[in-house]
Chain A
Amino acid sequence: MLEVKGLEAGYGRVPILRKINLVAPKGEVTLVLGPNGAGKSTLLRTLAGFNRPTAGSVAANGQDITGLAPEKMVDKGLRLVLDGHRVFPRLTVWENIRLGIRGNEAELETRLKDVYDVFPVLRQKLDHSASSLSGGQQQMLALAQAFVARPDILLVDEPSLGIAEMLIPTILDFLKRWASLGTAVLLVEQRIDIALKYADSVNVLRGGEIVLSGGDAAALSKDGAIERLYLGD
Chain B
Amino acid sequence: MSQDLILANASGRQAVSPHRRIPMSAWLGILVTAASVFVPGALGNQYWTYTFTLVTLYVVVAIMQNILISEAGQMSFGQGAVFGIAAVTAAVLTGLHGQPFWLSAIAGVGAGLVLGALFAAPALRVQGYYLGFVTLSAALVFPQLLIALDNITGGVNGVPAYVMSLATPIYGSITPLSILTVVAAALALLFHAVLPRTPLGRKMIIVSNSPEAAQALGIHPGMIRSTAFLIAALGTAVAGVLYVPLVGFVGPTAFRVDFSIFFFFAVIVGGQGKLLGPIMGIWLLYLVPNVFLADFSHYRLLIYGVVALFVMLVFPDGVVGSLAKWIASRRSNVEKVTISLHDALRDDDTRPVETIGQRPLIEVRNARKSFGNAVALSGASLTVKEGSIHGLVGSNGSGKTSMLNTISGFMPLDSGKVELFGRDVTRLAPWRRTRLGLGRTFQTPRIFDRLSIWGNVQIGREGYKSAPGGNEIDKLDSQAAKWHRQDPSLLPHGQRRLLEILRVMQSDAQLILLDEPAGGLSPEERADLARLLVHFRDRLGKTILLVEHDLSMVWNVADEITVMETGVIAATGRPHEIKSDPKVRALFTGGGDA
Contacts and interface: CB of A to CB of B under 8 A. Distances in A.
Interface string B536-554: 0000000000000111000
B338 A37 contact: yes
Contacts of B495: 36-37
Contacts of B397: 121, 133-134, 136-137
Contacts of A168: 591
Contacts of A132: 371, 374
Nearest to A140: B396
Interface string A76-109: 0000000111000000000000000000000000
A70 interface: no
A132 B374 CA distance: 8
Interface string A194-232: 100000000000000000000000000000000000110
Interface string B388-404: 00000011111011000
A169 B396 contact: no
B395 A13 contact: no
A35 B522 contact: yes
A22 interface: no
Contacts of B443: 135, 162
A14 B332 contact: yes
Interface in A112-155: 121, 128, 132-137, 140
B484 to A, nearest CB: 18
A162 B548 CA distance: 8
Given A36-B521, A41-B492, A164 B394 contact: yes
B490 interface: yes
A167 to B, nearest CB: 7
A164 B586 CA distance: 11
A168 B551 CA distance: 12
B444 A137 contact: no
Contacts of A84: 444, 493
A165 B398 CA distance: 13
Contacts of B519: 161-162
Contact of A12 (B1, B334, B522, B590): B334
Contacts of B1: 231, 233
B591 A14 contact: no
Interface in A19-53: 35-37, 40-42
Contacts of A61: none
A92 B462 CA distance: 39
Contact of A83 (B331, B493, B586): B493
B398 to A, nearest CB: 8
B336 interface: yes
A135 B401 contact: yes
A46 B485 CA distance: 26
Interface in B316-367: 328-332, 334, 336, 338
B310 interface: no
B396 A83 contact: no
A92 to B, nearest CB: 12
A128 B372 CA distance: 10
A192 to B, nearest CB: 7
Contacts of A35: 522, 524-525
A166 B588 contact: yes
A94 to B, nearest CB: 15
B589 interface: yes
Contacts of A162: 396, 443, 516, 519, 549
Interface residues of B, number: 44
Interface in A139-190: 140, 158, 161-170, 190
Interface in B501-538: 516, 519-525
A158 B549 CA distance: 14
A231 B328 contact: no
Interface in B143-201: none
Given A36-B492, A84-B444, A164-B549, A12 B328 contact: yes
Contacts of A41: 492-493
A166 B586 contact: yes
A81 B591 CA distance: 23
Contact of A166 (B328, B494, B591): B591
Given A12-B329, A128-B374, A137-B397, A169 B591 contact: yes
A230 B523 contact: yes
Interface in B440-457: 443-444
B469 interface: no
B142 to A, nearest CB: 37
B520 A83 contact: yes
Nearest to A138: B396
A74 interface: no
A140 B328 CA distance: 39
B12 interface: no
A137 B394 CA distance: 13
Contacts of B516: 135, 162
A114 B189 CA distance: 60
Q: By CB atoms of chain A within 10 A, which of B394, B396, B401 has the most? A: B396
A47 B263 CA distance: 42
Given A13-B334, A128-B374, A132-B371, A158 B520 contact: yes
A16 interface: yes
Nearest to A233: B1
A85 to B, nearest CB: 8
B302 interface: no
B490 A14 contact: yes
Contacts of B550: 165
Given A162-B519, A193-B592, A16 B336 contact: yes
A197 B493 CA distance: 24
A192 B492 contact: no
B549 A36 contact: no
A3 to B, nearest CB: 25
A221 B394 CA distance: 30
B590 A36 contact: no
Interface in B463-499: 490-495
B374 A193 contact: no
B301 interface: no
B522 A134 contact: no
Contacts of A190: 494, 520-523
A162 to B, nearest CB: 6
A12 B520 CA distance: 25
Q: By CB atoms of chain B within 10 A, which of A121, A190, A231 has the most? A: A190
A194 B591 contact: yes
Q: By CB atoms of chain B within 10 A, which of A11, A16, A85, A162 has the most? A: A162
The 7 A-B pairs of least Cβ separation, nearest first, read A136-B396, A13-B332, A165-B591, A36-B494, A134-B397, A164-B395, A169-B590
8 contacts: A14-B336, A35-B525, A83-B493, A162-B443, A163-B396, A166-B587, A166-B591, A192-B523
Given A36-B522, A163-B396, A166-B589, 6 more contacts: A12-B334, A14-B336, A37-B494, A128-B374, A166-B395, A192-B523
